[in-house]
Amino acid sequence: MRLQGLLALLAGAACTPAKTQSASPSATQTAPGAALSATQTAPGAALSATQTALSAAPAAPGFHFELMTTAGVGEMPVRIDVEGEVVTLVRAEATSEGQPIGVFRARLGAGDRAHIERAVPDAADPAPPIPPETPSIRVVLRSNGRNVDRRFGLPSLSPSTAAILDVASHLEELALRSPYRAFRLEVAAPSAPPVAGRPITLRVGLVNAGTEPLTLTFEAGAPHLEAAPPPPLPRPGFTPLPVVWTRISADLGRGPFTLPQGGRVELDALATFHEPGQRAVWARLDGQVTLRGTGPEETHFRGLCVARPIVVTVVARP
């Protein structure tokens, strides 16, 4: 879920589904997109990035816009930054298997600045104070002599809040079409069927999905392999139980891993399947990530992404 979760809050709907053990990002993610905030080095910080990441973007002076959202206690915030004509978003959580995470950056389209300025009111709608850590949106706008810094609570039926969420959804979609410093995970099928109870080496790819050279460093929660029974075929009127994934390998290392533009790094993962039969296998990252480009700036956040699953047939030991 990206900004759809906050749009659900706008209508008063709940947007924090229960988490299952190692479920896919689409099942576990309760906050959209990602966040971009001031540098934060405390271990376990939800999400942070250096502001110098924006300094590399061409900026027209006089226009600055920030939109920050939170879905509540324990959930990752979202931050979208516009500096001049450039919008920057850090997506920390992929919404489905095989999607990249990292820094996304694009130029505004015609009329986007005017759209933002119309959507941001100079005064907030009358409302009681917003308690800390409750679902909310904060917007900052500096343009044409305006200096607005407002916070709006969710859920809300306010037309102002609806207009701001519309802007956020548009900017997010615009940025996500242009991966800048981003990566994804892949798993290669084994050259021979695994034998139950015997270790096998599987190849995991770290793929540079952006337009810039990239250096990745993982902290706690580095990529690893997980397996689960293949999901059943869809049946009308039947809702299958959530898939539960089980770790089958150790962490694949912290790095740093250097990926040229369009490049990849292959890692060997030693895995063991204990029972014969078919298994779905993916690589999963759920931990702290640091991205670096060719300059000194860094982006640090807690990332969640998984590879597209492969299906392997585990044979019985002879």
Q: How far is CA 248 from the centre of its chain?
A: 24
Tokens of 11: 């209508």
| Predicted local confidence at residue 236, as pLDDT | 87
Based on the structure, what is the number of domains in the chain? 2
Per-position pLDDT tens, the chain of length 318: 455 555 444 444 333 333 334 555 544 333 333 333 333 333 333 333 333 333 344 444 589 999 988 776 556 667 899 999 999 999 999 989 999 999 999 999 999 999 999 999 887 666 677 777 778 888 999 998 899 998 888 877 778 888 998 999 999 999 999 999 999 999 999 999 999 999 999 999 999 999 999 999 998 788 999 999 987 778 888 887 888 999 999 999 899 999 999 999 999 999 999 999 999 999 999 999 999 988 888 999 999 999 999 999 999 988
- Same domain (yes/no): 268, 294: yes
148 and 188 both lie in a single domain: no
In terms of domains, do 141 and 187 share one? no
CATH number of the domain encompassing residue 106: 3.30.1560
- Looking at 180, 199, 234, the residue that finishes a domain is 180
Q: Can you give the residue range of the structural domain that contains 30?
A: 4-180
Tell me the C-alpha distance between 10 and 60, whole Å: 33
Whichever domain contains 284, its CATH number is 2.60.40
For the chain, the maximum distance between any two Cα atoms, rounded to a whole number of angstroms, is: 77
The Cα–Cα gap between 191 and 181 comes to 32
230 and 87 both lie in a single domain: no
Specify whether 196 is located in the same domain as 270. Answer: yes
